[in-house]
Amino acid sequence: METYAITTVLDVGANAGQCAAELRDIVFIMIDIDNFKPINDTFGHPAGDRVLIQMRDVLLEACRTSDMVIRWGGDEFLIVGRDANADTAETLAERIRAGVEEHPFTLDGGQILRTTASVGFACFPFLRSDPTRFEWQQVLAVADVAQYVSKKTSGNAFTGFLSTPKSAEIEDLFRMIREEPGRLIDEGLLEIRTSVAPSVELVFHHSDESKLRVEPGDSAKDRADSGPDSSRPTRG
């Protein structure tokens, strides 16, 4: 059902005579509720169900009428939005993050629960110069990796991965986004947009070696001058 909904959105553009290069207006936003398991464990699954229903309402309130809100399974939701470039996607991701943080989730008996969400986004087509290179499922996976960064770094954050003019030079770009996004960012092959504070370490993988810190004023020149041990990605 979820796959049919996404392909329907993409087919609308195709049926309107748009080629892949013109389908720059699709954005995938993945949302994962932070600390959802403790909610179920502490208050019971009916309480978790109430949180999920209210989360849907928060997302519908934050999104535009043209956006599609999909329950993606478990405590994850997916937003599929048209007419949304990178700047619009970033604005929407922040609106979702803030909306969840500010919402009082009401449980049975009137008890109020507060929670947050981790958000990740990516645009389809992913590469402007090679719009058919990534299938939509791959772009969705990129958004999921970005959401993972938000989740593992701090929670209550959004992260977006975007291509750069140099991204198409990488033959195995999709694999590297999934396995080595920090390296791509550092080399200018991937753009990151995030609400995580600049001085906070970004966690890309489970190992401590993938924790990278960006200090205010850090620049590519500074890193090059200070040697290989200071290799840290800048943020867009």
Residues known to be catalytic: 75
Long-range pairs, 224-231, Cβ under 8 A, ≥24: 231/186
Give CA–CA dist 197/236, Å, rounded: 12
- If you search the block for the tokens 């043209």, which residue do you land on? 66
Q: Report how far residue 126's alpha carbon sits from residue 207's, in angstroms, rounded to the nearest whole number.
A: 27
DSSP state of 114: -
| 234: CB partners within 8 A, 6+ apart | 185, 186, 214, 218, 219, 220
